[in-house]
Structure formats: structure tokens, C-alpha cells
Amino acid sequence: MPRLSLSDFLQGPPDAPILDVRAPVEYAHGHIPGAVSLPLFTDEERARIGTAYKQVSQEKAIHIGLDFFGPNMSKMVKLAQKIAPQKEVRLHCWRGGMRSGAVQWLLELAGFKVYLLDKGYKDYRRWALAQFAEPRPLFVLGGLTGSGKTDVLHELARRGEPIVDLEGLARHKGSSFGSIGLPPQPTAEQFENELAFELANLPPNAVPWFEDESLAIGRVTIPKLLFEQMRLAPLIVLDIPRAIRTSKLAAEYGREDPAELAGAIQRISKRLGGLATKEALAAIEAGDMEKMVDIALEYYDKTYGHGLNTKINSTIVRVPSATCDPVINAELVRAVAQPLFISRRVTQG
């Protein structure tokens, strides 16, 4: 059976969807970005086969697997036809072994053209982790809570600048309020998978923009080798007055569920203190979002300010702005970054 290297597999025909034939629990834990789950076995079936393999023999496990596979063959083919009506697919399992081989045989029998990933998803994981060790030039965009850093990143992207939206990939904004209004976070493994994919698909010689983040974004963690590069990169800090940031955040949080806002305040209650917590909760109940935000910013501004004083980035540049308008602020940070980029190229050259 022809097998493709990982690079050829990922760059394969764009109209050939990637089918992941591992069990649903394996897929949910982590998968190649864009892959569709087409499990050969259910989680329970996979567990039974594994038990037979360990406790009896490989032959017994294969026989059990065939018993499960046989009645489901027609169903798998029909599902594959819905996913890939052109009958061309890329296919993988964990190590490129019997599971993907069996499904390849079945689909080719049904008239599909199948591209099989040599060494399976395990090879993708090795490749993904290696991406974070690759040295790369980058810029980090910082600023106090409410500065609109993510909006500026997206505006930079609209202007053709390469960006890596860590919060977008993590589906979390990084603070106690970070999960409000967002879908559930990916697993740690899936976050790494998607981040590696983003890094690998940056334009050649690109200098991407990252947002200044803590090591942890909600429940996921930035890979340490990449985080160390971010800590040393030039840091461009938007410096926006607190009143403007308060108004921006109050408008945003005014659209959210008060119960979720109260939960976020409760999570930082020890840092806010009893009186501030009580006042913030009362402000939420009264619909006074500006007061609630102002109380929370007292904590977040101190925390970020302390962190900024301990930064070890190669260059730290403050960019004052009297607005949270991302169009204006994108121009301001680009103007600062351009000479830094030229200076680094000259130094490295």
C-alpha cells in the first residue's frame, strides 16, 4: 500500500479530506487540524480489543476486531461518501498500522482513491512538538487589560501582517473573565496541534505578531520553548488611559450573562479583597458595568504592571494612544515595529 510522508500528506490534494480512523476518545484528545473522525471502532470496542491483545494474544484481538469491523463496513463506506463525495481521501490511524490499512482496503474496494499517512498521527505529534523549538523572529504586542490587543492583531492581519492569535486558538482571553461568551477550550494536546499548524503555515521569512500572554491561557499552556522565545522578543506595549479601557470593557461585558460575570469576580475575590468583591458583585446586580470593570482593573493593572517591570524582552517600547480604535493603534505599533525589524535584519546579517 502506498504511504505518504507527513509533509506530502499535509500538502496533499485540498479536496481530499483527512479521515482519522482512531477511536472517538483518541480523536477528542487530539487530532490533525481539519481532520474528520471516521472511527473504525467505538471506544468500547477498542478497549475490548486491547484487553484481548494484552491478556490473550494478537490473533484473538484480530478476530475480535474483524467481528466488529464486518457488520460496520457498509456504514463506513456510506459515511465516507458523504464526507468525500469525490471519493478521494487522506487517511490515518495512530501509527499507520492495521486500522488504517483495513479502512484503506475497504474504501479502495468501494472505489475511493486513498492517500495513507506513513507512521500515522504519532508522526504528526512528533512534528508538532518540534515546531516549538524552531527559532523564529517575532514581535509581541502588550498592554494593560482592555487595550484591545486582540482587535489590533486582527487589524494587523487585515493589513497583511502575519499573526498568531494564541487566545483565538485557546478559545480563552486569559483572565478570570476569559471564558465568558466563548466555546469550550480545546485539550492541551489539541491546542498544541493547532498552534504548530499555524506556525508551520506562516509565510517564509515572516515576522509574526503574538499577543503578550502568561504561560497559561485558561486551562491550556503555551509550549515552553515557544514561550521563552516570546519572553526574549521585542515587546511593543500599547499605553491606553484607564478610563478609555474601562468604557470599552464595560460595553463588552454589558452584553454578557451577569451570573458569569459574578463567577469571574468570585474567582479573583481573594486578590480583590472582601470589600472590593462585595462592591463589584453589587455593581453587577445593579447593571453598573463601569464600576465593576473599574474594580477589576485595579487588580489586573497592578498585576500586569508588576509583570512588565520584570520582563526580560530584548526591547520594550511603549506606544501611547488615546483610543482603543484598532485601526489607529495598528498603524501606531506598525510604525514602531518597522525600524526594529530593519535593525534586527541588519544585526543578523
* DSSP 8-class letter at 171: T
**CA 51, CA 57: separation in Å to the nearest integer?**
9
Catalytic residue among 38, 93, 117, 295: 93
Helix (H, G, I), strand (E, B) or coil at 195: helix
In the chain, where does DSSP find H-type helix?
Answer: 6-10, 24-29, 43-55, 58-83, 98-109, 120-131, 149-158, 166-170, 188-200, 224-232, 242-253, 258-267, 269-272, 274-286, 289-309, 326-348
How far apart are the C-alpha atoms of 269 and 280, rounded to whole Å? 10
Q: Which helix (H) or strand (E) holds 92?
A: strand 88-92
Active site residue 93: yes
User: Do 63 and 54 meet the contact criterion of CB atoms below 8 Å apart?
Assistant: no
Q: 155, 177, 319: which is closest to 250 by C-alpha?
A: 177
Residues 6+ apart with CB under 8 A from 50: 61
Q: Please list the active-site residues.
A: 93
